[in-house]
């Protein structure tokens, strides 16, 4: 083996051990200006892929201890770590308590490094505003938005259940009658959102929460109203185009029919 081959092998080894993404924690060989992988750079850019990169399950708050955002206290599990309800490349959702109203909430907190990106902060705020202005039993509503120590967060209704994705993965296909209930309730949520000028473009099983009351009656809650960017729609009206999370805002109810 010649010296050039050895050098190329050394370079390859260095690339394979370049570290992990500062945003999502994935192994990387190339990184952006703030240590992001190429996938996270795309999600924070202007390409409308309709999907937020998932954060690996092991990625989260790395040190135990309490967390507090404004008057919201994040619950701590038996292991001493904050209780996470879900996590993505941009944010973590915690189980928390509103200390003023003494009620349980879901608290979504955008990663501090991501929050340094003005576009990401703006999209996160629009996401909160979208969900806060849709009032319907089948929509998880946002009740509070705040910023603290370089982090952005919002509190929303805590849905005590599981996603449709988790249900189907565990139990397999739903009975037809139950599946029709899920479809009907999700459609009602989308219809009322459309009436408010919002079109959800990322409906999927992981964005539908299922909960049951004491009588086992099923309630579906639509979540994840992430929005970003602005553009003119087909009619030239004031549209806002979705990048990550997938929404179109529009001025008129009927304009949504032009969206494909």
Task: Give the chain's largest Cα–Cα span.
Answer: 75
The CA–CA distances, whole Å, from 196 to 87, 167, 190, 200, 243 equal 28, 30, 10, 11, 19
**Is residue 180 included in any domain, yes or no?**
yes
For residue 65, which of 45, 50, 48, 83 has the smallest C-alpha distance? Answer: 83
What's the rounded Cα separation, in Å, for the pair 222 and 220?
A: 7
Domain holding 242, by residue range, is 162-258
In a domain, residue 115? The reply is no
253: three-class secondary structure by DSSP: helix
pTM, two decimals, is 0.64
For strand 67-69 and strand 84-87, is the pairing parallel, antiparallel, or unpaired?
unpaired
pLDDT at 9: 45
Question: CA 95, CA 74: separation in Å to the nearest integer?
Answer: 6
Three-class DSSP category at 176: helix
Is the residue at 140 inside a domain?
A: no
Residue 17 lies in a domain: yes
- Within-domain flag for 49: no
**Residue 222: inside a domain, yes or no?**
yes
Q: What is the CATH number of the domain that holds 197?
A: 1.10.510.10
Number of other residues whose CB lies within 10 A of the CB of residue 245 = 26
Catalytic residue among 7, 111, 202, 213: 202
E strands within the chain?
67-69, 72-74, 84-87, 91-98, 103-110, 142-148, 151-157, 162-163, 198-200, 208-212, 218-222, 231-232, 238-241, 247-249
What local confidence, expressed as pLDDT, does residue 113 receive? 87
On whether residue 30 sits in a domain, the answer given is yes
CB atoms within 10 A of CB 146: 16
Q: Active site includes 202?
A: yes
Q: Is there a domain that residue 205 lies in?
A: yes
Structure tokens at 136: 């319907």
The domain tally of the chain equals: 2
Per-residue pLDDT of the chain (260 residues; tens, 9 = 90+): 555 544 444 444 444 445 666 556 666 655 666 565 665 655 554 333 444 444 444 445 556 677 999 999 999 999 999 999 888 778 899 999 999 999 999 999 998 888 889 988 888 898 888 889 899 999 998 999 999 988 999 999 999 899 999 999 999 999 999 999 999 999 999 999 888 888 787 788 988 999 988 788 899 999 877 553 333 343 444 444 444 444 444 444 334 333 33
């Amino acid at each position: 083996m010649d010296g050039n081959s050895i050098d190329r092998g050394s370079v390859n080894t260095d690339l394979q051990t370049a570290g992990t993404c500062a945003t999502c924690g994935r192994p990387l060989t190339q990184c952006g200006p703030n240590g992001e992988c190429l996938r996270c750079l795309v999600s924070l850019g202007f390409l409308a892929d309709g999907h937020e990169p998932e954060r690996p399950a092991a990625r989260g708050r790395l040190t135990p201890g309490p967390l507090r955002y404004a008057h919201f206290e994040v619950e701590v599990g038996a292991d001493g770590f904050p209780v996470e309800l879900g996590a993505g490349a941009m944010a973590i959702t915690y189980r928390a308590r509103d200390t003023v109203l003494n009620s349980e909430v879901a608290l979504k907190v955008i990663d501090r490094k991501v929050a340094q990106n003005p576009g990401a902060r703006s999209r996160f705020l629009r996401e909160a505003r979208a969900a806060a202005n849709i009032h319907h039993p089948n929509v998880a509503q946002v009740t509070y938005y705040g910023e603290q120590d370089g982090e952005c967060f919002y509190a929303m209704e805590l849905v005590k259940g599981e996603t449709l994705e988790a249900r189907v993965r565990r139990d397999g296909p739903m009975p037809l009658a139950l599946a029709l209930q899920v479809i009907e309730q999700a459609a009602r949520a989308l219809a009322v959102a459309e009436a408010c000028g919002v079109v959800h473009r990322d409906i999927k099983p992981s964005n539908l929460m299922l909960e049951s009351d004491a009588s086992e009656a099923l309630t579906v809650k639509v979540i994840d109203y992430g929005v970003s960017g602005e553009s003119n729609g087909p009619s030239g009206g004031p549209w806002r185009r979705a990048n990550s999370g997938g929404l179109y805002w529009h001025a008129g109810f009927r304009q949504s029919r032009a969206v494909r």
